[in-house]
């Protein structure tokens, strides 16, 4: 089983994303069942944010995990940049903890860089660690220049992870950001690891190489796309799923081993960029 180490915690390389979960009362029960199916299949990481459904995602997770042992879960949430000040961050954190019905977060991320100085945000995050409300902190949607700026502020080197968009459709991070993470021993959390939108159907699901590799493993093209993401060094994927079947398939993909020849074929079909690209954010 592929694992990723974050803040000295060895974790399965596939967790559970919750971006759109909790948005509809009609699908709430199904989504709770999907989260529990993913946990039963072996996932331990659940990723959310105060922004997701204006707290609805966090509240749904709180309900889903209410009968789970806290120390068997690794829970991640994110603070909006406008709430990342010394005054507002503690309030946002307390709201997230209340919504999730937990005493602490394993990892708390700055959702993206905003106008609050990084030094102020890092100080607030370090204070939250000392208060026992978070175990570690990190960032999201930070490019190389943002990460380099972060390392210049006091305690900025305590950053435990950076969560960014990584999938076969969006490979810009492979040119510079992921190598930078690897050189600085900072894990990557890949959101939306299975690409979304109209381009997905046109360029990925119908791609001959991906279909051939999927057939060889008797699995879906979705599983191959996910397996490609987690074969990247120190990369954890957090696919979102609102159904039991998809959540279970996603987590089981952690045991899917792509061969070197298959990886080479996929790289040929989807080349690594040869120059800097703007960091993709969705």
Q: Which residues are known to be catalytic?
A: 52
Locate 183 and state its tokens: 């050189």
Residue 50: helix, strand or coil by DSSP? coil
Helix (H) or strand (E) holding 241: none
From CA 223, how far away is CA 33, in angstroms rounded?
Answer: 21
Burial 177-193 (b: 16+ CB within 10 A, else e): bbebbeeeebbbbbbbb
From CA 107, how far away is CA 186, in angstroms rounded?
Answer: 14
Number of other CB atoms surrounding residue 127 within 10 Å: 15
Residue 82: helix, strand or coil by DSSP? helix
């Amino acid at each position: 089983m592929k694992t990723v180490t974050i803040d000295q915690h060895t974790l399965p390389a596939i967790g559970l994303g919750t971006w759109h979960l909790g948005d509809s009362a009609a699908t709430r029960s199904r989504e709770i069942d999907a989260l529990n199916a993913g946990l039963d299949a072996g996932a331990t990481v659940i990723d959310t944010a105060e922004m997701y459904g204006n707290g609805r995602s966090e509240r749904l997770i709180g309900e889903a995990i209410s009968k789970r042992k806290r120390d068997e879960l690794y829970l991640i949430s994110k603070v909006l940049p406008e709430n990342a000040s010394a005054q507002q961050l503690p309030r946002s954190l307390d709201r997230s903890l209340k919504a999730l019905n937990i005493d602490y977060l394993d990892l708390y991320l700055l959702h993206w860089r905003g106008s609050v100085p990084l030094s102020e945000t890092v100080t607030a995050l370090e204070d939250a660690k000392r208060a026992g409300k978070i175990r570690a902190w990190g960032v999201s949607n930070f490019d190389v220049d943002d990460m380099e700026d972060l390392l210049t502020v006091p305690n900025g080197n305590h950053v435990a992870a950076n969560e960014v968009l990584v999938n076969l459709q969006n490979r810009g991070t492979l040119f510079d950001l992921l190598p930078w993470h690897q050189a600085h021993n900072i894990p990557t959390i890949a959101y939306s690891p299975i690409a979304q939108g109209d381009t997905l159907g046109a360029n990925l699901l119908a791609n001959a190489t991906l279909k051939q590799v999927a057939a060889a493993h008797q699995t879906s093209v979705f599983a191959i796309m996910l397996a490609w993401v987690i074969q990247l060094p120190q990369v954890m994927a957090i696919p979102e799923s609102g159904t039991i079947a998809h959540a279970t398939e996603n987590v089981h993909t952690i045991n899917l081993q792509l061969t070197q020849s298959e990886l080479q074929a996929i790289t040929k079909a989807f080349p690594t960029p040869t120059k800097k690209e703007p960091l993709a954010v969705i």
